[in-house]
Amino acid sequence: MSNDQFGFTKFSDNDFYSNINKALINSLDLKSDLKIVDLGCASGGISKIIIDKLQNTNSINSSIIAVDHSKDALKEAQSNLRAVSDSMITFVQSRYEEFSSKIKEKVDLVVLCNAIHYLDDKELVIKDVMKILKPNGRFAFNSSFFDGAHPEDTKGFYRKWMFKAMKILSKEFKMRPAKADKIESRVQLTPSQYHDVLGNCGMKIINTKIRTVEVPLDGWLDISSFKDFIEGIMPGIKLDIASQCLQKAVKETFDEMKITFVNRNWMEVIAVKS
Ligand SMILES: C[S@@+](CC[C@H](N)C(=O)[O-])C[C@H]1O[C@@H](n2cnc3c(N)ncnc32)[C@H](O)[C@@H]1O
């Protein structure tokens, strides 16, 4: 079974997801002649939103450098964005922690969507972002993995879903996940801790917002087929088995709770190199 089916394209095609990312990109007021880094580009969804925005506003001569550490993700992005000219987008394989050394020019904007929670050492990476930004350059990020992402009345949903998924894994497959060190996407900072981290790196926040999104069943089913998500919840379990358990469990949870969506908060932050 290929890893492609556990890529990010399916999830990132969900309307609610592209809308929340479009909201961030729209608030950046993009103009002509910008050099932009899409850090953690995965399947290229954010680069596509930026390109559409630039084209719709007749912003010319801007270009994007799409960075991801995963070869599979970059392949997906290149395929999804094959219609875009080479002068508009280039792809760089790099870990966040060393990306600035692989980019030769200073840039106006670094966008890090839905990925800051992966960073073990956020200051290290943000200092790297600072290195590559021009004076007054901007750093924009969003995430739904922060302390505050789960509205209080949705916590029962997660408990039920995870309990059911582990039960299916143990009953139907006679397996249990390996014990993993606490993964970084579970070590969640509050918005005010993010504020401090940015301040420590010499960045000034110019805009911050929490948006609440209704995530339908399809969103939960699709995130349950994304490799990074699956591995975070069921480390050591084969992707196809873990994915089946998570999907079956979330369907049952929606049925039992008689719900059609679950609210999730997205934090968005725009900071400037001061
Ligand atoms: C959840 S996806 C987000 C994709 C995209 N930015 C979006 O908002 O739709 C996170 C991406 O970060 C990448 N990633 C995770 N850890 C990384 C690291 N240390 N360095 C570079 N990329 C990393 C993963 O490969 C994945 O493609």
* CA of 189 relative to ligand 1 center, distance in Å: 18
Ligand 1 centre distance from Cα of residue 86 (Å): 22
| Predicted confidence band of residue 181 (pLDDT cuts 50, 70, 90) | low
Q: Which atom of ligand 1 is nearest to the CA of 68?
A: 22
Q: Could you tell me how many residues make up the chain? A: 274
Q: How far is the CA of 44 from the centre of ligand 1 (A)?
A: 10
- Structure confidence by residue, pLDDT tens digits, 39-89: 999 999 999 999 999 999 988 899 999 999 999 999 999 999 999 999 999
Query: Hey, which of 70, 99, 264 would you mutate to test ligand 1's pocket, going by the most ligand atoms within 8 Å of its Cβ?
Result: 70
Q: Alpha carbon of 71 to those of 3, 137, 146, 162, 254: distances in Å?
A: 11, 28, 27, 30, 35
Q: Give the pLDDT mean for 177-181.
A: 74
Can you give the pLDDT at residue 2? 46
Q: Is the pLDDT of residue 186 over 90?
A: no
**Mean of the pLDDT values across residues 241-266?**
98
Residue given tokens 């004076």 in the structure block: 135
Taking the centre of ligand 1 as the mean of its atom positions, its distance from the CA of residue 169, in whole angstroms, is: 27
pLDDT, tens digit, for every residue of 30-47?
Answer: 989 999 999 999 999 999
Taking 70 as the threshold, does the pLDDT of residue 184 lie above it?
A: no
Share of the chain above pLDDT 70, in %: 96
Could you give the domains of the chain? 3-151+184-215+264-273 (3.40.50.150)
pLDDT band at 187 (very low <50, low <70, confident <90, very high): confident
Average pLDDT for 204-230? 97
Is the CB of 114 within 6 Å of ligand 1? yes
* 133 touches ligand 1 (CB under 6 Å): no
Per-residue b or e along 88-115, where b marks 16 or more CB atoms closer than 10 Å to that residue's CB: bbebbebebeebbeebeeebbbbbbbbb
The mean pLDDT of the chain is 94
The span from the CA of 201 to the CA of 110, in Å, is: 15
Q: Going by CA atoms, what residue is nearest to atom 13 of ligand 1?
A: 40
User: Atom 4 (ligand 1): residue with closest C-alpha?
Assistant: 42
